[in-house]
Structures are given as structure tokens and as C-alpha cells.
Structure 1
Amino acid sequence: MDIATTPTNPEGNPELADAARTPHQPPVILREYYRPFGWLLPEVKLDFDLGITRTRVRAELTVQRNARADRADVIRLNGDGLKPVSVTVDGAATDWSMDGADLMVPLHGDSHLIVVETEIDPAANTQLMGLYASNGMLCTQCEAEGFRRITFFADRPDVLSTYTVRMAGEKAAFPILLCNGNRVAEGDNADGTHWAEWHDPWPKPSYLFALVAGDLVANSKPFTTVSGREVECNVWVRAEDLARTDHAVESLHRSMKWDEDVFGREYDLDLYNIVAVSDFNMGAMENKGLNVFNTKYVLADPDTATDGDFDAVEGVIAHEYFHNWSGNRVTCRDWFQLSLKEGFTVLRDQLFSQDMRGEAVKRIEDVRILRAAQFPEDAGPLAHPIRPDSYREISNFYTATVYNKGAEVIRMMRSMVGVERFRAGTDLYFDRHDGEAATCEDFVRAIEDGAGIDLAQFRRWYAQAGTPRVTVREAVAGDSLVLTLKQHVPATPGQPDKQPMPIPLRVAVHSRLGALGAEQLIVLAQAEQSFTLPLAGPDPVVSINRGFTAPVVIDRALVRDDLVFLAAQDDDPSARSEALQELAVSHLVGTASGELSAGERGAGEAAIIGAFAASLADGALDDAMRGELMLLPSETYLFEVMATGERKADPGAIHTAREGLKAAIGTALADALQALHTRAAAVALDDPAGRGARKIKTIALSLIAAANPARAATLAAQQYDAADNMTDRQGALMVLTGLDCREREERLASFYQRYKGNDLVIDKWFTLQALSLHPDVIAHVRKLAEHPDFTMKNPNRVRSLHMAFAGNPKGFHAADGEGYRMVADVILALDPINPQTAARFVPSLGRWRRIEPGRAALMKAELERIMAAGNLSRDTFEQVSRSLDG
């Protein structure tokens, strides 16, 4: 990643960024050393002669000296695994050379035409970066550094070019030829080949380049923009998958309309193409006008996709479409600014999904993801700000911090200024920086100027890692309540001392006698600050961080009765859910740590059962919200809460406590849960209430299973057999996989036989078993790794089994360390094949410092074993070394 340079290295050679590195120590890239590239590349022409095992690429690069950069008489064109077949400058041979993987071409004038020819073997590209083969199809993935695996180029996001691309290949093998932009010409040749020429009029960086060639069919439906232009919209898939693409097309149209209405952004090409690919490292990629998607986020019908899958398809399609402006028309100056496009676009897709499916439940879901993925990242050795200062491998910064916390930071700005002023700020941002490579600072300044707010102190959110903790004290003074808040950001690697940050919090002061207080927004900007709030009546109880306004941990000493009140009475759905979660967390962590007496445990259990009973009986709730109120905090989140201060987390104790509480709820509410399951089972698939009913049905089943496994096995088998949709079928099988019973084996076999050959559904079959609570889950996963349908070469399949297992606290944290050994073995086996996917397993082992000593030693030993193996990729080396050193 040659965007970080030293002053003596203006062309950005990463080989020189750390002169002391060894083969096992990739260079450290620093944000402070950014320099503009020495050359502009305004026009790029590419000519592809396509083949699965041999593709020839001819690149014509128009280069001009960059007046804003230090003078350079050599241009560095990045390469990775390439050898030039020929290199010319202005039509003549030149004295080029290689510096590591990069091509060095001397240039002495102010403008030149460089022509480079290369040959690549897409079939041999197991990294799935650059141009690679997937089931007879050719496709690309260029973010972040994949384009340099196709041809030599200034492969950095601040080099913007307009592209003209000609593609040619055998028509029988590649009947469909797709690229960025608009198709301007096509034709057939006498030798059985054909060609197509594409032009993208909008300047873009190389990471947004895309090419697809294969035997595909399209679900096509035009969209008319707000200005009356007709856009051809196509979702390209294999013929056998076409019937499962209607939801994707409809999601795209809803996204296009929403972005016009809410952010004023109109689409800007004549074509919008989406292609589904089965071998893909990511979820999807926003390449200009040609989005390449993992099939998981395109294909959906009720028989093969759950309600959650439908939501994911809609959300990811929206996310990639929204990138057309927040990422493509305005892109990143360098990779340190990744949250500029990703954090902003995550917020945009969250707001879209709220409008499509309801704000309350969607917000609670987003917070759950934040707590499960980002809070642990903030508290561990891999903690980093949303705009990091350094990295060794940029692929490792595609993190929950950059994406999810980045979205929360921008959401806070929106909360502080309001929807209309925020829109004024984003309009100004797009107007100022259209066609440019911008920075996070550019975005913040646009919000300042457009919304009329001073965000000088707020910028600390971009620079400081860690999840702030807000301590709450309350005191009644006459007819007011004085709320005193104190903030603290824990030390993180490289950042021992933190400065106060503005923390917007929506609050209300209710009365236990039933009066609900009015909501207001306060901003905690100092280390400690007091706020005077009006009382709604006697016996006040504070509802704080309503709507989860800020990504913080609230530390307060509420009595159990206050939490029960908020869980039952609060008028903010998010705050109501938070109160119930807080009630459960305090009980479960206290139980797991042994800090509660038997009497306290009994009282806590009774309070939680009472809260669940209230949710079951509340006729004002729809089932979707009822389901949220009946979800216990995850073991991962409990782990984070338990591992505070000097206390270490004990995964075994956490699991025992949580399963014990589930059993208690299932026993105490057995009749009510049975009645709920029966009621929900009667709701038809196409009933508007069906979605919530399907959700609550499986939640009830899981609680029944904890208390009465035999009864649950019967109910789950009945649900499975009667299911007319994947949500019910998968929910029943999820419960059965955790039980040691005859029904488990029968339904697993039935599921496999029903969907054999459907890769996405067989991924579910692997995942359900890897995540199960079955006592023999480790043995099951080892056996599944030998299954004929398992392969380490397909990222979806690896994630479906091994990544799922790494997220299974019961199996992964087995006391003998077998789960840790299995994951370490996967990392070592996968790293030579697909380093990017391998590196994503490392954080599961990197939490060792926060765990009890026995398991901590076992986890650390596996990290040391991985490091000792040597020859690690940059991706995996960085993750392992930081996990050991941090």
C-alpha cells in the first residue's frame, strides 16, 4: 500500500517505509507520511484477451506530471506476482527495471504514453484478489490492492482515471462480457470469439475497476430516475439461480428511490449491473456500475432463505448502491480514510433499512452487532481508531471499528445537528468533493459548514480508539434532577491517555408512578459534567442513551426495580431493550463470577422471569419487538462485561450461567411459551405478522429446549416437518442440532438431502452444526471438515464451518484447548491459500489477555505456534504479532 511514504520516498515505495524489516516483518505504513503521487493518470485504456488459464492484458496509460507533488523522474507502477511481457514509452522501448514486485519506468518529460503488456493465470489465483476464475467464470476483486495483480499500475485510491476497456474471448465460454460504465460497442469475430468495449466517464481509482466474463443470464428491470432518465438494471446470475433474484432487483429499485428522496442522490450511468459470484472474499463490492456480489447477498426465496437472509440481501444491495456517491463519486484520498466511505455508507444503509422495516427493531439489531463485534475489538490488542495512524496490511482494517463504529460516529453528528442540517452538510460534502479523493477531515468540515456547528472537539472520535464508559450519578434537587456524568476512555495499544470527547445522549426522567418524562438531548463534552433535568413526578428513574445515541458503555447503579420498571414501561424501544439487557447482564455476570449470594441470584432470576412474562403478556407489542425483548445478552458480550478491571472472563462459567437462566425461564414460563409457539405457528407465511411470528416461534423453542430437551425435540421436529419456509425450517434445526436425540440426526439428514447441490443452503447446514450446543460439537466439526462438500478454497464454505465454530463460545472455549488448536490449524492451512480469510480467524485467539489464566495460556500458545511456523502472509503476520504484543 504505497500511500504512506517517507519524505525521501515520494513515490510511495512500501519496501522503503521500514528499512529494518525482515521477511517476517512487513513494513509499517504511516498516515503522517502521505504524499501526493508524482504523476496523474487521467486516461487508461485496457485490452483483455480473456482465458481461464491465460489472460493477456495490454494497458495504455496516459501520464502527466503532477504539479502538486514532488518532482519524480521515475514512475513506480505497483505489481503483485506479475512479469511484464513488454514495456514502451511513447511507442519506443525504455530502460525499465523491477524494484521488488513493482515496475520502475524512467520518465523525463511532462506527459507520456506508457504501454505495458502482462500475462496472468486466473485459474491459479486462489487469493481471489485481482482477476480470478470462479466455476468457469472470470471476475475481479480489486479493493484494496487487487488491481496490481492484473496489470502494473499506480494502485492507490488518490489516482483517478477514466477507463476505456476492450474485452475479447471465446463466445462459447464467455457469452456475457461486463465492465464498468456504459457498453459502447460489441461484435463477433469469425474465429468464434467476440468482444465488447466499455467506457466509464466518471474518474475512479483502480480499486473500483471490475470485469466479469461468463455464461450468465439477467433479471432485468429498468428504473426511471427523478430527472426522467431510464437506467437499465440487471442482476446477472447462472441460469439455475435466476428464479431467486426478484428480491435483489426490487431491493435495488427501493435503494435508488430512497437515495433520491433522502439524500438527493441520482444515479449517473445508463446501466447498473450486479453479478453474483460463488467464490468471493467479501460480501460485495461497489465497483462503479458493476457491483460484484457474493451469491449469499443476491439469491433469496422463501424455501432457501430466511427472513434474516432477505434483510441481508436488501441491506447489502443498498449499501453497495449507496457507495455510488459515498465512495465512488467521492472516494478516499488514502486507505487511512476508509471509514470516510464505509462508516458513512453503513449509516446510510442502516437508515434505509429502518425506513423499510421499522426503526425500533433495526436500531436494536444494529446495537447488538456493535456490541458483539466492535466493543470486543475496542477492548483488545487490535483496537484502533476509526481513522488509524498506521498499518502493515490494509485488508486487516476492514473491521467493525471502521464500518460500524464509523457509522455510529457519523450518526452522533446527525443526532447533534438534526436531520435537516445533517442533510445540508452532506449536500455540501458531495458538492465540494465530487470527482475527488477526500479525507475524513473533509467530511467533518462539510458537516460543520453545512450544519453550522463547531466539531473541533468531536474530531477526537476519529483519532482515539476505545469504547468510552460513562458513569452516572443522580440527585434530586426540588422539582429537578441533577444528573452528573463522568466519562473515561480506557487505554488502548499505543494510546494510554485519552481526552474527553463530545458524547450526545438522549435522556428522559420518568416517574415510577407512571408519568413519562419528555426526552431531551444533552452533550457530555467534559471529563465530568452535571445537567439539571425536570422531574415528571415523584420517585424518578432516568432513561439514558435512548435510541443508543452514542456508542458508549453506561455505568450506573440502578436498583433492580428500576430496571424492571424501564424494561416494562419505557416509551423508547431501544431504552426498554437496554434495560432488560442490563438486568440480565448484571445477573449473569454476577452469577458467573460468584459475586452474587444465593438470595441475590434467586431475586435476579425472578426479576428477569417477570420481565419476560410481561413481554409475553403485553398485547401492545408486535412479535418482532417482543422477540427483541426476549433475547438474552450473548456470551460474547457477557465475556466483555466480565473482563473489566482486574477481573478475567471465564467462558465456561458464563456459558453455565446463561444456560441455567434459559432453563429457569423455560421452566417458569413453560405454558406461556408453549402457547406462544402454538399461536405463532398458526400465522401464515404471507401474513404481514408472519415475520415477527417466525422470529418469536424459534426464540420460544430455544427456551423450551433449555428446560425440557425432550419436549423441545418433539416440537422442533414438528416445526421442521410443517415448515413452508426456510426461517421455520432453519430455526427448528438450530434447536435440534444442540440436542442429543434421534430427531437431530433424522432432520440433519433430511435437510442435506433436500438441499444437496445448493451451496448457499448447504453452508447453513455446516453452520448450524458448528454453532450448536451439542456436547460433541468439536468432534462434529472435525468430521464435517472431511465431508466431500467441504473445501478450503471457497471462502463461504470456510466461514460456514470454521468461522462459525470460532464464534461458538461453548466449543471454541473448551477447557482442554481443543477448540483453540482446531482454529489455529485452520489458520495455518488457509494462510497459503487465502491470507485475507485466514487473518480473520486470528482475533478469536487474540482475546487471551482478558480470559482466565488456564485458557489464556492455551490461547497464547496457539498464537505462538502460528508465529513460529514462519512464512506467514502480511495479513496473518500482522494480526498474530499484534495479538501477542498488544
Structure 2
Amino acid sequence: MQQCQAKHLKDYRSPDFTISHVVLEFDLNGVNTKVKATSQVKRLRADATQLALHGESLNLDSVLVDREKVNYQVEATQLVIEVDSDAFELVIETQIDPEANTSLEGLYMSDGAYCTQCEAEGFRKITYFLDRPDVLAKYDVRIEADQAAFPYILSNGNLVEKGELPNGRHFAVWEDPFPKPAYLFALVAGDFDLLEDSFITMNERKVLLQVFVDKGNLHKAHHAMASLKKSMAWDEQRFGLEYDLDIYMIVAVDFFNMGAMENKGLNVFNTKYVLADKESATDDDYHGIESVVGHEYFHNWTGNRVTCRDWFQLSLKEGLTVFRDQEFSSDLGSRAVNRISAIRVMKNQQFAEDSGPMAHPIRPESVIEMNNFYTVTVYNKGAEVIRMMHTLLGEDNFQAGMRLYFERHDGQAVTCDDFVNAMQDASDLDLTQFKLWYSQAGTPVVSIDDHFDPQKKQYTLTVSQTLPDTPGQTNKQAMHIPFDLELLGSDGQSLVNQVLDITQESQRFVFDGLTYKPTPSLFQNFSAPIRLQYEFSDEQLVNLMRFASSEVARWEASVQLISQAIWLNITRIQSGSAMVLAPQIVDGYRGVLLDPQLDSALVAEIFTLPSAASLIEQVDSIDLDALEIAREFVEEELAAQCEDELLVKYRQLHHIDSVGARALKSRCLMMLLKVSEQHDSIAKTQFEQADNMTDTLAVLSAVNNSGLVLRDELMAAFERKWIDTPLVMDKWLMLQGGQNREDIIDRLAALEEHAAFSFTNPNRVRSLVGGFVAQNLYRFHAKDGSGYRYLTDILKKLNGTNPQIASRLVTPLIQYQKFDDCRKQQIKKCLKELLTLPDLSKDLYEKVSKALL
């Protein structure tokens, strides 16, 4: 398939031509929307005689060079123009049909409004252009539209002119003074409610802030606005970065493939990350909005002012900006809880990607469809790599590196190496070996052996690292790994607390003057994205849960402790022995629950057992059926043994209005319902009395897989109340997809006809289908293959309408390597069926073909 040929980083070539300035004129008129692009083009290579422009799904009307007709050729995805000038004006007129654009890339309709999504390569669906990130141009945009239907017509930059036109139409002209690549272009036209505010920058500039939302949702925009103002203040205080335009706009749309997009001055957001009020949004929703608003705002400098030379450098902007939004959330909220959330993403999702067919470095070496590399590796592992640099350099040197990075590269399209070089030059720290994190795929495995010599009073740690083979990469070099270590005494005293450097395949670290063997807290705070191999005893882990100075280390010890109990019971199931839960484990958890000094949010995290997906990532192969039984037993037994304490804690927290209290109350309720149906009255009372969505959804989540008659009653009541609120019904759909019930496939088929569901809306699909494949692991992997068959049929349907969503949903299907042969064969059969589709998209082809290698 010619369209599925891979592009390679090693083949990067700077452009033959560039565009310094472009004037875009839009006549928004439904299926016959006209686009006129007037570009100032400059030849960069003297021998270049053909200008090749990217374009897809366009109807070409005319091409003029310096107002004269010119020879050109239209190919499948290119317009090739014969040129003989070093500099010239290029005018291209095209027509597009936004209403037929179901891919949600380029210019499309979202529930009656025009909007754009151009990252990574969507601008080529608007007009023929040099759609590559290393071509930076200044944009002037003129938009015409029907005034009654589209009273707001927006684009990047500052509004410089607007007015009325004949026949009920009007226009607006926008000017963006900062050069940007085409992927940052944005246009929105629609009828919205508008929330306005302002922000005074550190240099006393007043910036107009605007949040546009669907009619009737104005009251749900205030948290997004507050989050934006917090983001602007934080970026000035922490990084010294000031906003640079006179206006900053956020527009919330319901049809959007991603979470949000950082288009310069005009961010387009999925409604999920803008709309919130206490009754309809959970505490997690509020946090998600604050985080995503911050993320997109922080891109103004790390992504917009300094952008990527090519798409292989995507982590340059995304890894760095995820690190920044994580720090923002941590500075404003609980650093420990935010760090735990980031670690969960790594261990549950990114480690799976690293061990699967789509394993790639944070700077990929090849790509067929760029949309496939908006991954947890590029984003989240990329952020961990930035965090490791921060650990190695310290805050002061890291900030000096950031300043040097902007001084060198403001207004440029650069590489990951440029960023690392700035950090290195600002700190005088040699990061040559550290750069391997950008080029080597996979998760390092770090094995630790320890020995205590009482005569010498010496404790020795021997640390070994290996990096497993991944597709296309073998015989890898040793990585530079920061090793955050604490040694604890039996009384909880911190004996050693420092960061060590692992740079060799094997290293020894000796600690003198110890009178007894300490308990090691290894890779505290997840100081590096590695898989740790060390034989912890239950006693050591309980000690860490009680005394580690890092709250994150306490949580990590709890995960390890309960995981070991689950693995032990899997072994007992396989040998025909009775399952057990050791008393010291229960005592450790009970001690956490009763400790008045611990933050409720942290206790809630500790009492959230590791997911089945994260447990699977701890081993090379899995007995899925035994895992289901063992994990359920451990959770039920822990709940039963701590029932009295859980009930007391629930009652203590019942009327406390805080995020942490609600989180722990939810966990207590979840575990109590696993003990006895006698507690269902508590659940029903909470549901009926709840004055916020967090408490309401906590009840539904608790009863969702309880088998209680109460479940259907409460789910029906929730549906009746929220049927006309799509974002809330998304929560209901996700719960439905996550129900561990024998008739789940029939239930899913019925829900596809539900008034709240639509195959054309990514949020609805992610909720129902994504809820099933990602959260209903045992039913998705049912032995009869029904889950695989269901997802395959969904992917066939989405392949022709929205390949991006199809490609994201296929992930659980391609990560089959750890399952038994029966399941593997059924999955492969489905993948082969997809591969034979005559119109298979590049998005799916890349993942499916790699999974079958």
C-alpha cells in the first residue's frame, strides 16, 4: 500500500521553499465553503524547480503565481507547481465541504459550529500548503459568514477589523504577529455563550480572556476561566513566562478527537475539559479541567513560540508541557496525589506500550501515520524524561536551562537535542549518555541485590540494568538513571536519603556506619520510569508504608504489598490450595486507615488496589482467569477484615466537604459493598442525599459490579435525571460498558441505539466502547472471543468515518502477547480480518500490521 509507506527521522530534509506570510480568506457557506490562500513564498534551494504542496479532500479552483497562470499537477495528496523564481506570490483558491468531514481534521462542523483541528496534518484539508512544522509564517485571516447563524467568527491572534456585509453576512479580520506552523492555525464560527474576564501580566499588560461555550452552559465555564488565570499567574511565577497577545480565547466544542488544542491565542477544547459545575462534574473532572487548561496555556511558549522541527520531535513540546502541567497541578494541590496519578498512567498504560508491538522511543525513528504517535510514550514518558533532567540538575539549573532554551530558540522550529543541549550548557552537566532516553525504546529493568555485613557495619546495594529488545532495536546501551534512595531504620528513622546516578550495566553502592540492616525505599517518587526487581518482604513493605518520608513511597509500598498477595494467591489457585491473606498485610492497611496524620486523599490512593491491567504488566505471561479470582478475593478479604474501621471512617467523612474526604469516603463505600449487602442502604442514602456529582458517581461506581438489585434502580434514576446532559451521560455510558455481566455484548449493542449515544461523536464512542475495552478487562478478554469480535466490528465501522478514534480503540486488541494461546489466536484472527479491509486507513494499518509481525 503506497499510502502506508513509513517516513524516517534519518531522512529528514529541510524544505526547498518556505512561506513567510499568508493571507487566508474564508467564505463559510456550508458544503461550498471557499478558501483563498495568498502566500509569500521564498525558494531556499537554488536547484528547486517544483513546489510540492500538501492537500487532501480539496476541490481546486485556481492557481496563480505572481497573478499569472502556471503549470501544475494535482496528485492524490499533493499539488506540484513548476516555478522559476526565488520569491513569488502564490494564490490558491479551493472549495471544501466541512459538513461531510467526519474525520474531525481540518475544517469541520461540530454541532452547528465551524471549527478546526490542524495538528498534526489537518491543515492540508483546508488548502494546499507546506503543511510541515518547520515552515513558520505570519497569518492574516479574513472570515465571512452568516451573521445570525454565526455571530462569533474567530481566528488566531488579535482582532483588527470587523463589519457587516450585504445579505445578512458579516466579516472579521484577525492578525497573528507571531510566525507559526500551519498546525497551529485555528478558526471557529458559531453562536455561543461568552464568559469574559481579564488578566494583568507581570509587565502590567491587560489581556482579555474569553471562554465560549454552547448556549445554556455559561454557568459551567467559570472553573475553566479560573484555571486559565491560575495558569497565567503560575507560569509567570515559576518560569517567568508572560503571555504575548492582547486576547486569549478558549472555545468548547462537543465533537473533538482530542482533549484540547493549543492553537496560538485560540484554543479549541473538548467540552469535557471546560464545562463543570458541582452538580454535574466530579472532583476528577474539576482537576482534569484545571490540568488541561494549564497544559494548553503552557504550550504558548513550549510548543508555539518554540516549536518542533519535524513530527519526530513531538515530545519536545508535549513531554515538556506535560511536565509543566504536572508541576502546576502539584504546586496548586497535593503533590503526592498528583505524582501517584502520573505513575499510574506510566505503569498501567505506558509500560504496556513499551512491551507491545507499538513500542517506540520518545523520539520515534519512523512513522506511517503521525496521529498514531500521540502516545503515552511521547507524552507521559517524555514528561518523565524531563523530570529526570530536573532531578539531575535541580530547580535552579533547570530554570537556567529553560531561560537559555528560549534565548536561543524563540521563534524557531527545533529538535529534542536543542533542548537537552540548553540544559547541559546551563548546568555544565554532561547529558550525552542521558540522551539515550530519546532514542532507545523500552522500559529498563533494574535488579537490586543487597547485603549487610554486621562486622563491617556495611550495607551494600548491587544495581544492574538491562533494556529489553523492542521492535527494530536490540543490543542497547546502558542508560543514565537517577536513583532516589532512602534507607530506613527499624524505628522508622531515615538513615540515608539521596539521589544516586546509575550509568553502568552493574554498579555497587556501599553505606558505612550502620548497626543493622535497613529497609530500602528504592526509586522513590518514581525517580525513573523503570521496572524494579527486588525481593521485598511483607515486613519491609509494611515498614515503608508506615515510615517512608515520601508519601509516594508509602503508596508504592502498598501497591507492592498487595500485588505480592495477589500473585501468591494465583499460585495457590493453580496448585489447588486455599487462598489466604496474611495478617500483617491487613494490619498494615488497618494502620494506614487509623493513622490520623495521613492525608485522606493519600489513604484513598493506598486503598485503591492495583488494576488488573497494571498487574498484567508486572509479568511476562498471565493466567487471566486466576488473576480475576485472586484479585477479587484479596480485595474482598481486606474489606471484610477492615469492615469496622471502614464503616467508622465512612461515617467520620460523611459530612466533610473536601476533595480528599470525598475520595476516601468513596473507597470506603466501594469496599463495604464488597463485604455485605447490608451496606446497600448506605449507598442508597448517599445517592439520594448527594449534592455533588462526586458522591453520586461514587455510589454508581460502587454498585456497578456488585450484583445488587440496587444497581439497576440507581442507574435508571441517574439516566432519567441526566438524559439531556451529554457529558454526564458519558459517565453513565462508561459505567454501562464497564459492567462485568454475561450479557454485556448484547447490552452494548442495545446501548448503541440509545438516545445518548452517537457513533459520530468521539466522546460518546470513547465512553461506551472505550469503557468496555479499557475497563471491562475480563469480559473483553472472554474466552469465547465475543469481546474481540465486538471491537473488530466497531473498528470496521469507524475506519471509514473517524480513523483516529478507531486507531486509539484498537490498542487493547494489539497488546495480546501475555495471554494464553487460545486468546492469542482469536485476537490474531480479528487483526487479520482488519488487515484485509480494502479501504483500511493508515491509522489502523500501522498498528494492526505491526501487531501481526
Q: Which residue in the other structure is 2:153 paired with?
A: 177
- Structure 1 unaligned residues grouped into runs of 5+: 1-21
Give the conservation status (yes or no) of the 8 Å contact 2:196–2:210.
Answer: yes
CA–CA separation in structure 2 for the residues paired with 1:214 and 1:39: 35
- Greater mean deviation of Cα atoms: 43-52 or 307-316: 43-52
Q: Does the 8 A contact of 2:565 with 2:634 survive in 1?
A: no
Aligned residues of 2:347 and 2:617 also touching (Cα < 8 A) = no
Alignment partner of 2:599 out of 577, 597, 622: 622
1:377 alignment partner, one of 326, 350, 353: 353
Matched, 1:733 2:700: yes
Separation of aligned partners in 1, 2:664 and 2:546: 18
- Shifted more, 517-526 versus 323-332: the winner is 517-526
**C-alpha displacement of 1:71:** 2.9
Shift of residue 533, structure 1, vs aligned partner? 2.6
In 2: Cα distance, 1:596 partner to 1:356 partner: 47
Aligned twin of 1:701: 669
Q: Of residues 638, 642, 645 in structure 2, which corresponds to 1:672? A: 645
Q: CA deviation at 1:354?
A: 0.2
- Displacement of 1:559 after TM fit? 1.6
Q: In the alignment, what sits opposite 2:280?
A: 304
Render the CA deviation track for 1:406-433: whole Å, top value 9, x for unaligned. 0000100100010000000011011100
- The answer (yes or no) to whether the contact 1:252–1:317 under 8 Å persists in 2 is yes
* Partner Cα separation in structure 1 for residue 743 and residue 617 of structure 2: 26
Residue in structure 2 matched with residue 433 of structure 1 by the alignment = 409
Equivalent-residue separation in structure 2 for 1:719 and 1:866 (angstroms): 46
Corresponding residue SS for 1:840: helix
- SS in structure 2 at match of 1:780: helix
Note if contact 1:142-1:207 (Cα within 8 Å) is conserved in structure 2: yes
For residues 820 and 607 of structure 1, the distance between their equivalents in structure 2, rounded to whole angstroms, comes to: 41
**Equivalences for residues 284-363 of structure 1 within 5 A:** 284-363=260-339
Matched, 1:573 2:551: yes
1:44 equivalent in structure 2? 22
Q: Is the CA contact (8 Å cut-off) linking 1:640 and 1:649 kept in structure 2?
A: no
Give CA-to-partner distance per residue, 1:520-578, whole Å, 9 cap, x none.
Answer: 11011000001123556523111111111111111001222111111122111111111
Letter of the structure 1 residue corresponding to residue 358 of structure 2: L
| Farther off after superposition, 773-782 or 197-206 | 773-782
Q: In structure 2, do the counterparts of structure 1 residues 537 and 354 end up closer, same or farther at CA, with 3 Å as the change threshold?
A: farther
CA contact (8 A) 1:515 1:536 kept: no
d(CA) in 2 for partners of 1:347, 1:672: 38
* 1:200 aligned residue: 176
- Cα distance 1:584–1:188, how it changes in 2: closer, same or farther (>3 A)? same
Instruction: State whether residues 509 and 534 of structure 1, in contact with CA within 8 Å, keep that contact through their aligned partners in structure 2.
Output: no
Partner of 2:747: 780
Contact kept? 1:627, 1:696, Cα under 8 Å: yes
Task: Quickly say closer, same or farther: Cα 1:535–1:871, change in 2 above 3 A.
Answer: farther
Number of residue pairs matched?
850
Tell me what 2:462 maps to. 484
State the AA in 2 paired with 1:638.
L
1:18 match: none
The residue identity in structure 2 corresponding to 1:621 is L
Provide the C-alpha distance between the structure 2 equivalents of 1:114 and 1:58, rounded to a whole number of angstroms: 10
State how far apart, in whole Å, the 2-side matches of 1:266 and 1:596 are.
61
Q: What is the aligned partner in structure 1 of residue 504 from structure 2?
A: 526
Cα distance in structure 2, aligned partners of 1:535 and 1:584 = 33
Percent identity at matched positions? 43
The structure-2 alpha-carbon separation of the partners of 1:467 and 1:618, relative to structure 1 and needing over 3 Å to count, comes to same
Counterpart of 2:818, as a letter, is R
What's the counterpart of residue 836 of structure 1?
804
Q: 1:396 aligns with which of 359, 372, 388?
A: 372
- Equivalence for 2:6: 28
Q: Which deviates further from its counterpart, 454-463 or 768-777?
A: 768-777
Deviates more, 1:839-848 or 1:534-543: 534-543
- SS of the aligned residue for 2:150 comes to coil
Question: 1:597-636 maps to which residues of 2 (within 5 A)?
Answer: 602=580, 604-636=581-613
Residue 598 of structure 1 deviates from its aligned partner by 8.4
CA distance in 2, matches of 1:536, 1:42: 66
CA separation of 1:133/1:700 partners in 2, compared to 1, >3 Å: closer, same or farther?
same
CA distance in 2, matches of 1:878, 1:785: 28
Mapped contact 1:513–1:539 kept (Cα < 8 A): no
> SS at 1:551's partner residue?
coil
Q: C-alpha displacement at 1:599, in angstroms?
A: 8.5
Work out whether 1:869 is the aligned partner of 2:846.
no
Residue 467 of structure 1 corresponds to 443
Q: Is residue 641 of structure 1 aligned with residue 618 of structure 2?
A: yes
Give the aligned residue type for 1:649: I
Deviations for 1:314-362, whole angstroms, at most 9, x for unmatched residues?
0000000000000000000000000000000000000000001121111
Shift of 1:595: 8.3
SS in 2 for 1:272: strand
Q: What's 2:848 paired with?
A: 880
Match of 1:265 in 2: 241
CA distance in 1, matches of 2:328, 2:575: 46
2:283 is aligned with what amino acid?
Answer: D
* 1:90 alignment counterpart: 66
Partner AA of 2:727 in structure 1? L
The Cα offsets for residues 612-664 of structure 1, whole Å up to 9 and x where unpaired, read as 1011111101211111111111100111113x2xxx21222212111111110
CA offsets, 1:682-722, max 9 Å, x none?
Answer: 22x3xxxx2111111111122122222x2343322221111
Query: How far, CA to CA, are the matches of 1:846 and 1:858 in structure 2?
Result: 12
Name the SS of the counterpart of 1:455 in structure 2: coil
Distance 1:337 1:699 in 2: 41
CA deviation string 1:244-285 (max 9, x = no partner): 011000000000011111111100000000000000000000
1:224 paired with 2:200, answer yes
Distance 1:241 1:776 in 2: 37
Alpha carbons 1:587, 1:601 under 8 Å: kept: no
The equivalences for 1:396-435 within 5 A come to 396-435=372-411
The equivalent residue for 1:692 is 660
| Cα distance change, pair 821–732 in 1 and its aligned pair in 2 (3 A) | same
* Alignment partner of 1:800 out of 755, 759, 767: 767
| Equivalent-residue separation in structure 2 for 1:593 and 1:108 (angstroms) | 74
Match of 1:721 among 679, 688, 707: 688
Scaled by the length of structure 2, the TM-score of the pair is 0.98
